[in-house]
Structure 1
Amino acid sequence: MQMKPFRIGTRGSPLALAQAYEARDRLMQAHGLGADMFEIVVLSTKGDRITDRALAEIGGKGLFTEELEAQLASGELDFAVHSSKDMPTTLPDGLTLSTFLPRADPRDAFIGKTAGRLIDLPHGAVVGSASLRRQALIRKLRPDIEVIIFRGSVQTRLDKLNAGDVDGTFLAFAGLARLGLADRATQVLDVNDFPPAPAQGAICIEQREDDERIASLLARINDPDTFDAVTCERAYLAVLDGSCRTPIAGHATISGDHLRFSGMILTPDGTICHEVATEGPRRDAARIGREAGTELRRRAGPGFLDGWS
């Protein structure tokens, strides 16, 4: 019997904390445990501390997970809660993403100051985004717009927008909703027009591979539909060597035993893009994702991906 609290690792941003508490609350309900059986452990990551440069310049997605994974591997944490889209496709030896909570809305939200929709912004407007995918899609739709790097927490970016630093910015709608800020979105973009990042909207839980006790604890809150959809998306991303240097979009949906996937890769300026759409049995989620990534590599041709770094 567990006598001491389970230690849950998380970053310290309001959104990361909201996600950690959602995981805790689901575990409390699933197992009939009190809040005293869980301890939220907040760690600062390099990705949180350095906000004036693009992620690609300072090491990519792993900068949001290194400190958490080090304590997870050492046994100081029992498990860690992450935004799935922030997770590198290759994890440290001995760690695994075992659990995904039910996925929230995967769409991107535009928050406009001078216009409510991206298409209505004036010529030469400035939009802030840290995501190469969003930057490329913005330039694809509105090549006249200036796009600048815009990092920081959700509230930090909203504060910069309110101060007039930019005319608009993009955030994951799921993140806004989890913070009670869904009404700040002035436009929620259709996934067909503005495809999301792989795994966007999904909360994942990382644990030690050999810890059967924690695996049993977490199994009750795993959502199979989200697990299979994100498995497909991460397999696709892995084939494309997805990092913060590459504009890549991908989205899988589950209907019964069937999975549908669509993906897109772009040049950073948004002028060239290649798309793929495929489907198949959900039991083949990883294979479908890998094959979609391989097909996009074939369509793009040699050097297309390499030229982005």
Structure 2
Amino acid sequence: MERRLKIGSRGSKLATMQTYIVLKQLNQFFPELVFELKIIKTKGDKFLEEDFSKIQGKGIFTKEIEERLISGEIDIAVHSLKDLPTELPEELTISAILPRDNPEDVLISKQNRLFLELPEGAKIGTSSLRRIVQLKRIRPDFVFVPLRGNVPTRVKKLYHSDLDAIILARAGLERLGMGYKITEILPTEVIIPAVGQGAIAVEIRKDNDFAREITESLNNIETEFSVRAERAFLRRLGGGCRNPISAFATIIDYEIFIDGFVASTDGESFVRHSTFGDALNPEKVGTQLAETLLAMGAREILEGSPVNISTQS
């Protein structure tokens, strides 16, 4: 009798492409098993044209998938790690994180103008506060215009509007075969990506030992430890808050380097810092960086106190 495992995914082109990456590896490792794809519509999919900051609740791209995982309707869930809240349901766990693809944000512009070559007052399409507050520090003259929809829709909107450029995640574009659209890669030293950006996560029920055994083979240790530091940083600062918060970690030899920031929603108050720590204790390193930022003024920013802090070290 064949052994069948059901894999849950969102139905967007990018989400299914990411799930096929997982399926391809599972089929290579376990050709005797049958994997069945289940497409699940999430709240985020229903409101792609809405302002996500105004949608209540966490996990707008993951909650419905997790509910089906808990109920046993599916055995495995595939997510963009950046969509997963830092606090998972008690019944669930991340069993694997695939090797991280390119984590940077990128610029796509009309006439292939580079970031610093864009005209004064250029209109930039993005709905991400994380991107806006960082870009404002380099080009305060930019006008930011909300940009929503899936990745191909956002790219199409650039060429059918008065936008001068848009900002997107590099990994998503490249997975969709749209990397040729990229005008310029924005280095992580300039724009810190979203926590977990570029990483694909596999989630299972804690009590499903078979799914754990199968999926753990996909895990990449370097990516896992890096994003554990990032997620610990976000968890300590309050992963569900509306403030722009992010961190990016890499492993260098046996140490984790992590760079993070916290800002007010208008970008007027901004604190950024980086640190090194033991790669075998990623949560400790991420939490320590969060504590440093809190001492530098992030606590007042997160509490909404009337402060004007601009610190980068």
Task: Indicate the residue corresponding to 2:311 in structure 1.
Answer: none
Which residue of the partner structure matches residue 169 of structure 2? 172
Q: Which residue number corresponds to residue 110 of structure 1?
A: 107
Task: Measure how far apart 1:246 and its partner are.
Answer: 1.9
Partners of 1:10 and 1:68 within 8 A in 2: yes
How far did residue 258 of structure 1 move?
2.0
| Matching of residue 143 in structure 1 with residue 140 in structure 2 | yes
Q: Give me the whole-angstrom Cα distance separating, in 2, the residues matched to 1:193 and 1:125.
A: 19
Note if contact 2:271-2:298 (Cα within 8 Å) is conserved in structure 1: no
CA contact (8 A) 2:262 2:298 kept: no
Q: Structure 1 residues 165 and 63, CA, compared in 2 at 3 Å: closer, same or farther?
A: farther
CA contact under 8 A between 1:247 and 1:265: conserved in structure 2? yes
Does 1:247 find its partner at 2:249? no
Task: Name the aligned partner's letter for residue 271 of structure 1.
Answer: E
- The 5-angstrom pairing of residues 35-54 of structure 1 reads 37-54=34-51
Q: Which residue of 1 aligns with 2:2?
A: 3
- 8 Å CA contact 2:77–2:204 kept in 1: the answer is yes
**What CA distance in whole angstroms lies between the structure 1 residues aligned with 2:183 and 2:57?**
29
Q: Which residue of 1 aligns with 2:196?
A: 199
CA distances 1:89-114 after superposition (whole Å, capped 9, x unpaired) = 11112111121000001111111125
- Which among 296, 300, 303 is matched to residue 306 of structure 1? 303
User: The residue matched to 1:305 in structure 2 has which SS?
Assistant: helix
- Contact persistence 1:56–1:244 (CA under 8 A): no
- Over the matched positions of the two proteins, sequence identity in percent amounts to 38
Please report the RMSD computed on the Cα atoms of aligned residues, expressed in angstroms. 1.7
How far the C-alpha of 1:280 sits from its partner, in A, is: 1.7
Q: What code does the residue aligned with 2:159 have? A: N
**Conserved 8 A contact 2:7-2:35:** yes
Match of 2:23 in 1: 24
Partners in 1 of 2:67 and 2:185 — Cα distance? 37
Residue 44 and residue 222 in structure 1: after superposition, are their counterparts in 2 closer, same or farther (change >3 A)? same
> What is the one-letter code of the residue matched to 1:20?
T
Is residue 269–residue 301 contact of structure 2 (8 Å, CA) maintained in 1? no
Question: Counterpart in 2 of 1:285?
Answer: 282
Give me the whole-angstrom Cα distance separating, in 2, the residues matched to 1:80 and 1:290. Answer: 27
1:4 CA displacement: 4.0
- List runs of 5+ in structure 2 lacking aligned partners: 306-313
Per the TM alignment, residue 24 of structure 1 is displaced from its structure 2 partner at its CA by: 0.7
Matches within 5 A, 1:65-76: 65-76=62-73
1:203-240, Cα deviation, whole Å (9 max, x unpaired):
00111112111110011111011111011100000011
> Which residue of 2 is the match for residue 99 of structure 1?
96
In 1, Cα distance between equivalents of 2:213 and 2:53: 36
Shift of the alpha carbon at 1:116?
2.2
CA drift of 1:150 comes to 1.0
Contact 1:27 1:33 (C-alpha < 8 Å) held by counterparts: no
Deviation at 1:60, TM superposition (A): 5.4
Instruction: Note if contact 1:30-1:221 (Cα within 8 Å) is conserved in structure 2.
Output: no
Change (3 A) 1:192 1:60: farther
**Residue 287 of structure 1: CA displacement?**
0.8
TM-score when scaled to structure 2?
0.93
How far apart are residue 269 of structure 1 and its match?
Answer: 3.1
Q: 2: CA distance between counterparts of 1:33 and 1:102? A: 24
Gaps of 5+ in 1: none
Query: For the residues of structure 2 that align with 1:238 and 1:117, how far apart are their CA atoms?
Result: 35
* 2:308 match: none
Residue in 2 that maps onto 1:260: 257
Query: Matches of 2:26 and 2:178 in 1, distance apart?
Result: 25
Distance in 1, matches of 2:224 and 2:170, equals 20
Give the counterpart letter for 1:105 in structure 2: N
Alignment check: 8 A CA contact 1:138 1:270 kept = no
Instruction: Decide whether aligned partners of structure 1 residues 67 and 301 sit closer, same or farther in structure 2, where only a CA change above 3 A counts.
Output: closer
Structure 2 distance, partners of 1:167, 1:88, is: 33
Offset at residue 165 of structure 1 (A):
4.5
Who is 1:127 aligned against?
124
1:279 and 1:126 mapped to 2: Cα distance? 37
CA distance in 2 between counterparts of 1:30 and 1:245 reads: 41
Distance 1:301 1:224, change over 3 A: closer
Distance 1:179 1:14 in 2: 8
Distance (whole Å) between structure 2 residues aligned to residue 227 and residue 166 of structure 1: 37
Shift of 1:31: 2.4
